């Protein structure tokens, strides 16, 4: 048995209104008990900073609501310190709902042992991650059913899911991939680094006018991560038989009691188009197949994932704000170690 472990965690002390503030959270130090039978202690290395974290801070969230006084929900990767669970031993790399803390105590079945021989553990948060690569995969191949020759538009395109979705659309045969993102740096990243055909800076350009220019034949598939005005603008450009994929609506997550529905939804009727939402967990039975495909494309260099790191568990609230304000490109990660290593 190891010595008592010290844990530092970020707990929710009140539910935010709008943008989460530092004063909505507290940083708490505690000693962790050894794991019970079937339990595991995990040294948390890196957390995935995901849009759903904002939604679990609210009462009545689709994902389990974060409890007041508890470490905030977050997925992450880490290493087993001590195990009383079958199939896991000290030193194993694992993925699971580790939470905003440095040491997590969890039942063994909540964790997945990772094969890190060919991939870094953080690949299981990004390119192969449940909330990133797998989400984009099912949104593009299953819900959007992207096929040869499609013109595909992706919103939130320079973020984690969006940057994967655009690259996967190309691999699915799209002839034209257009990203929508905020700021010239993101537009450059999409076109120069990720091979998007074009990108629109929704903050400084006229989205509808630019879309008409860039997709004169209309939009076959819209992969939407944002909702609100952006969804309305793209709905105006859909064609006969379009598929509008509702992956998320991050523009609405800070006021979930007043979500704004699409104003231009009648375009769906006019164009005999469909709009379909999904949660990645609906496709659980197909995860191994999707993960194998993603790993293959990653190994061959056909898929790339930029990682943006912040450091220190106490910076969890600030890192969540960074996600909501778009201060990153690619996958936003929080390393638990206080300084970059």
Ligand X SMILES: NC(=O)c1ccc[n+]([C@@H]2O[C@H](COP(=O)([O-])OP(=O)(O)OC[C@H]3O[C@@H](n4cnc5c(N)ncnc54)[C@H](OP(=O)(O)O)[C@@H]3O)[C@@H](O)[C@H]2O)c1
Q: Which residues bind ligand X (CB under 6 A)?
A: 50-52, 131-132, 135, 156, 158-162, 181-183, 186, 225-226, 230, 247-251, 278-280, 323-324, 326, 332
Q: Kindly tell me which of 8 and 331 has the beta carbon lying closer to ligand X.
A: 331
> Rounded to the nearest whole angstrom, what is the least distance from the CB of residue 51 to ligand X in the complex?
4
Q: How far is the CB of 11 from ligand X (least distance, A)?
A: 22
Alpha-carbon torsion 265, 270, 272, 273, what sign?
Answer: negative
Pair 281, 290: CB distance under 8 Å: no
Of the two residues 79 and 260, which places its CB atom closer to ligand X in the complex? Answer: 260
Closest residue to ligand X, based on beta-carbon distance: 159
Helical ranges in 194-284 per DSSP H: 207-214, 228-235, 266-270
CB of 310 to ligand X, least distance (A): 13
Burial of 62 (0-12, 13-18, 19+ CB in 10 A): exposed
State phi, psi for 40 to the nearest 5 degrees: -140, 140
* Least distance (Å) between residue 259 CB and ligand X: 12
Question: DSSP state, 71?
Answer: B
- Name which of 16 and 183 has its Cβ closer to ligand X: 183
Residue number, 57 or 85, with CB nearest to ligand X:
57
CB-nearer residue toward ligand X: 164 or 219: 164
Give the length of the chain. Answer: 341
**HSE-CB of 339 using CA atoms within 13 angstroms:** 0
Q: CB-wise, 61 or 175, nearer to ligand X?
A: 61
Residue 185: what are its φ and ψ, rounded to 5°? -60, -40
Identify the helix (H) or strand (E) that includes residue 136: helix 135-138
Q: For residues 88 and 332, which CB has a smaller minimum distance to ligand X in the complex? A: 332
In a 3-state reduction of DSSP, which class is residue 217? coil
Contact 126, 307 (CB under 8 A): yes
Q: How far is the CB of 114 from ligand X (least distance, A)?
A: 19
- Give me the least distance between CB of 22 and ligand X, in Å please: 19
Burial class of residue 294 in the structure, from the number of CB atoms within 10 Å of its CB (0-12 exposed, 13-18 middle, 19+ buried): buried
The DSSP element (H or E) to which 201 belongs, if any, is strand 198-201
- In whole angstroms, the minimum distance from the beta carbon of 240 to ligand X comes to 26
Give the whole-angstrom CA distance, residue 240 versus residue 56: 37
In the complex with ligand X, the residue whose CB is nearer, 28 or 145, is 145
CB of 243 to ligand X, least distance (A): 15
């Amino acid at each position: 048995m190891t010595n008592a472990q010290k844990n530092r965690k970020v707990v929710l002390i009140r539910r935010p209104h709008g943008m989460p503030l530092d004063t909505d959270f507290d940083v708490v130090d505690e000693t962790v008990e050894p794991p019970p039978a079937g339990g595991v202690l995990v040294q948390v290395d890196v957390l995935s900073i995901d849009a759903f974290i904002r939604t679990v801070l609210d009462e009545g969230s689709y994902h389990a609501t974060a409890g007041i006084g508890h470490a905030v929900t977050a997925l992450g990767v880490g290493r087993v310190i001590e195990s009383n669970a079958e199939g896991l031993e000290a030193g194993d790399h694992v993925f699971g709902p580790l939470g905003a803390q440095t040491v997590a105590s969890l039942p063994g079945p909540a964790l997945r042992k990772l094969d890190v021989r060919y991939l870094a553990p953080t690949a299981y948060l990004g390119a192969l991650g449940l909330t990133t690569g797998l989400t984009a995969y099912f949104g593009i191949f299953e819900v959007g059913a992207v096929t040869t020759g499609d013109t595909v538009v992706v919103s939130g395109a320079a973020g984690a899911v969006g940057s994967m979705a655009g690259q996967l659309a190309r691999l699915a045969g799209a002839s034209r991939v257009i990203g929508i993102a905020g700021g010239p740096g993101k537009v450059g990243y999409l076109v120069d680094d990720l091979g998007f055909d074009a990108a629109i800076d929704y903050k400084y350009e006229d989205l509808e006018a630019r879309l008409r220019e860039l997709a004169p034949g209309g939009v076959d598939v819209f992969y939407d991560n944002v909702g609100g005005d952006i969804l309305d603008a793209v709905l105006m450009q859909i064609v006969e038989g379009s598929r509008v994929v509702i992956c998320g609506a991050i523009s609405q997550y800070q006021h979930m009691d007043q979500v704004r529905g699409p104003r231009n939804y009648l375009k769906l009727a006019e164009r005999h188009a469909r709009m379909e939402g999904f949660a990645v967990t609906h496709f659980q039975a197909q995860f191994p197949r999707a993960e194998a495909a993603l790993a293959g494309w990653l190994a061959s260099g056909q898929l790339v994932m930029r990682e943006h790191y912040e450091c220190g568990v106490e910076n969890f609230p600030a890192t969540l704000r960074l996600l909501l304000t778009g201060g990153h490109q690619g996958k936003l990660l929080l390393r638990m170690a206080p300084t970059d290593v």
